[in-house]
């Protein structure tokens, strides 16, 4: 039973942009804290961005601040991660995750999230 689905990954050159989508099937994303994480080959999964549930919170890892933007289309039940000025070090599998509001502290830790999408590959060539 797939509850979250991440999509939009691909192969781009450095400096280009991609927009990732996180769609809910049985989850209404507006009511959940939504996080984006990524895992590069040989590395641990790391937090990228967080959108708070109904409170307007937007938070970003230092490595993507100013380049990535998290947004939402409530009608489409989709959260987006707009990624601009991509760098080779952004290459990773990107995951979206959803958390019930009462489990969120800062939205930066994997254990805060209950639901995970399957991941979408982003490859940035130099």
At 54-111, the pLDDT tens digits run: 888 999 999 999 999 999 999 999 999 999 999 999 999 999 999 999 999 999 999 9
* Beta strand ranges found along 32-111 (DSSP E): 33-39, 46-51, 58-60, 68-73, 78-83, 92-99
What does the alpha-carbon distance between residue 63 and residue 8 come to, in Å, rounded to a whole number? 20
Other beta carbons within 10 Å of 57: 14
Q: Is 24 exposed, middle or buried (0-12, 13-18, 19+ CB in 10 A)?
A: buried
Token couple for 119: 């991941």
Torsion on CA atoms 25, 28, 29, 31, rounded to nearest 10: -160
- Binned at pLDDT 50, 70 and 90, residue 25 comes out as confident
Q: In the beta sheet, which residues pair with residue 73?
A: 78
Contact criterion met (CB below 8 Å) for 92 and 39? yes
Token couple for 5: 């689905």
């Amino acid at each position: 039973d797939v509850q979250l689905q991440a999509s939009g990954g691909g192969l781009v050159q450095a400096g280009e942009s991609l927009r990732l989508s996180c769609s809910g099937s049985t989850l209404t994303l507006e009511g959940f804290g939504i996080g984006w994480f990524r895992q590069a080959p040989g590395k641990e999964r790391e937090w990228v961005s967080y959108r708070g549930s109904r409170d307007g919170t937007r938070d970003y890892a230092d490595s993507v601040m100013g380049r990535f933007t998290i947004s939402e289309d409530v009608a489409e039940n989709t959260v987006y991660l707009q990624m601009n000025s991509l760098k080779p070090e952004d290459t990773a599998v990107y995951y979206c995750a959803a958390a019930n509001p009462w489990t969120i502290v800062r939205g930066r830790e994997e254990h805060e999230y209950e639901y995970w999408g399957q991941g979408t590959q982003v490859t940035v060539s130099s």
